[in-house]
């Protein structure tokens, strides 16, 4: 057995990790827009990147280095350094060479507008403001935000039975362009657990499927999506089960926080799909629901329009039948195996559920045992406003 205790110290929760944010003048009004994560001891890295074919320059730069260890990640907001070709890679190399000598194999990560060269001089000047002795995780988490309305951090102390312990913490950004295949989201997880690179990668891949890849704001997948897990092993201790649990809690928390912070979103909805012919078919349905514009606008209107849920299930392409389908809003079953249950009294109760900030829509396909859970939000006027005007 093991015990998890929540900590407030984000990416600085693990021993030997430092972080802070500074202003390089990319955001208006001198808001912080550049952050670093530094480890006093060199780190193994596990990573998951976007499936977008137009991979941004920082990801190409990372991949080109092959197998390596690092003690430093530099992150900038406002410019994604995507669709910038070889010049975008050269810009990264030039910026990273200006960093102090104690930094080994630095990694860069960017988020923001696509198709514009990064303001190299500003970033080089910004990096000179970094103080590697600072432990300001919240400052770093704020610096990497773009359209986010709040910063996203979490950390745990993991105590094992034998008295040993390790810490794991993370920060993330993301509020739009978020889709079940990794999106305009960055997430950095730091730990002092003594975990091997291969095991970190295996767990990161596995946990991504049911957390970040189960979250959707708008069905768009960006050029820059990155989840990076850094371990400096300084605690000297590790337990796979406890580590996996903490990692899952961290990634699920950050994924649902992103959805709750979905651009213009007023509510976060969990779509629990069961009874499908396979887990894969349940996943198709769950993601179809979290991405349906008609479902999302009904949520925004707080309209318990279960017919759109049924139609979206049917349109998803997997095996489904109105005679076996059941639909519930939280515990309220509104349609059961082909029987119309909906009347004025039920509509009133269903409307009350729809007014909640967070609730669950369950769809039991009634065919077999396949299940999957996804996370989505509503779509309202603010989403349109934010995305019609994003560049300006």
How is 4-28 classified by DSSP, letter by letter? EEEES-GGGSSTTEEEEEE--SSSG
Q: Which is nearer to a copy of itself, 245 or 303 (CB)?
A: 303
Residue 234's SS3 state is coil
Minimum distance of a copy of itself from residue 10's CB (angstroms) = 29
Residue 177 phi, psi (nearest 5): 55, 35
How is 277-305 classified by DSSP, letter by letter? SSHHHHHHHHHHHHH-HHHHHHHHTT---
Q: Which is nearer to a copy of itself, 10 or 275 (CB)?
A: 275
Residue 388's SS3 state is helix
| Interface pick for a copy of itself out of 335, 353, 367, 373 (rule CB under 8 A) | 335
Minimum distance of a copy of itself from residue 258's CB (angstroms) = 16
Catalytic choice (184, 211, 312, 373): 184
Q: Which is nearer to a copy of itself, 220 or 245 (CB)?
A: 220
| CB burial readout 331-367, b (16+ within 10 A) else e | ebbbbeeeeeeeeeebeeebeebbeeeebebbbbbbb
- Residues in contact with a copy of itself, counted by CB under 8 A, come to a total of 70
Q: Which residue stretch of 18-26, 142-150, 230-238, 379-387 sits at the interface with a copy of itself (rule: CB under 8 A)?
A: 379-387
Told to check if 308 binds a copy of itself by CB under 8 A, we report yes
Q: Which is nearer to a copy of itself, 205 or 321 (CB)?
A: 321
Q: Which two tokens stand for residue 151?
A: 């910063």
Minimum distance of a copy of itself from residue 62's CB (angstroms) = 17
Told to check if 271 binds a copy of itself by CB under 8 A, we report no
Binding mask 164-183 for a copy of itself (x = CB under 8 A): ------------xx-x-x--
* H-run or E-run covering 70: strand 70-76
Residue 328's SS3 state is strand
In sequence order, what are the beta bridge partners of 43?
A: 70
Binding mask 221-260 for a copy of itself (x = CB under 8 A): xxx-------------------------------------
How far is it, in rounded angstroms, from Cα 205 to Cα 222? 18
Is residue 200 within 8 A of residue 246, CB to CB? The reply is: no
| Interface pick for a copy of itself out of 28, 53, 101, 331 (rule CB under 8 A) | 53
Contacts to a copy of itself by CB under 8 A: 51-55, 80, 82-85, 87, 113-117, 176-177, 179, 181, 218-223, 291-294, 297-298, 300-301, 303, 305-308, 310-315, 317-323, 325, 335, 338-340, 342, 379-381, 383-385, 387-392
């Amino acid at each position: 057995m093991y015990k998890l205790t929540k900590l407030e110290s984000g990416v600085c929760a693990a021993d030997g990790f430092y972080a802070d944010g500074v202003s390089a003048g990319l955001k208006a009004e001198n808001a912080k827009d550049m952050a670093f994560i530094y480890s006093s001891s060199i780190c193994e890295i596990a990573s998951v990147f976007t499936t977008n074919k137009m991979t941004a320059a920082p990801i190409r730069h990372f991949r080109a280095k092959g197998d390596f260890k690092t003690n430093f990640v530099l992150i900038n907001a406002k410019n994604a350094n995507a669709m910038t070709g070889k010049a975008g890679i050269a810009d990264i190399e030039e910026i990273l060479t200006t960093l102090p000598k104690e930094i080994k194999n630095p990694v860069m990560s960017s988020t923001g507008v696509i198709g514009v060269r990064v303001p190299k001089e500003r970033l080089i000047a910004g990096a000179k403001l970094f103080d590697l002795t600072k432990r300001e995780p919240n400052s770093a988490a704020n610096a990497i935000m773009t359209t986010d309305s709040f910063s996203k951090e979490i950390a745990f102390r993991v105590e094992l039975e034998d008295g040993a312990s390790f810490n794991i913490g993370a920060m993330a950004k993301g509020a739009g362009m978020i889709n079940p295949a990794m999106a305009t989201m960055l997430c950095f997880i730091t730990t002092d657990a003594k975990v091997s690179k291969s095991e970190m990668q295996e767990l990161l891949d596995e946990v991504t499927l049911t957390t970040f890849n189960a979250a959707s704001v708008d069905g768009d997948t960006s050029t820059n999506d990155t989840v990076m897990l850094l371990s400096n092993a300084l605690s000297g201790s590790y337990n796979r089960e406890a580590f996996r649990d903490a990692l899952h809690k961290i990634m699920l928390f950050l994924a649902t926080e992103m959805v709750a912070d979905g651009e213009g979103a007023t509510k976060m909805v969990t779509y629990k799909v069961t009874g499908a012919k396979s887990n894969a078919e349940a996943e198709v349905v769950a993601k179809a629901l979290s991405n349906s514009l008609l479902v999302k606008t009904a949520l925004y209107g707080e309209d318990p329009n279960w017919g759109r849920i049924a139609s979206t299930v049917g349109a998803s392409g997997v095996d489904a039948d109105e005679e076996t389908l059941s639909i519930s809003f939280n515990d309220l079953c509104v349609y059961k195996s082909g029987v119309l249950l909906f009347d004025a009294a039920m509509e009133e109760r269903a409307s009350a559920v729809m007014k909640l900030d967070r609730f669950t829509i369950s769809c039991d396909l009634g065919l077999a045992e396949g299940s999957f859970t996804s996370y989505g939000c509503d779509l309202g006027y603010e989403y349109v406003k934010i995305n019609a005007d994003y560049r300006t």
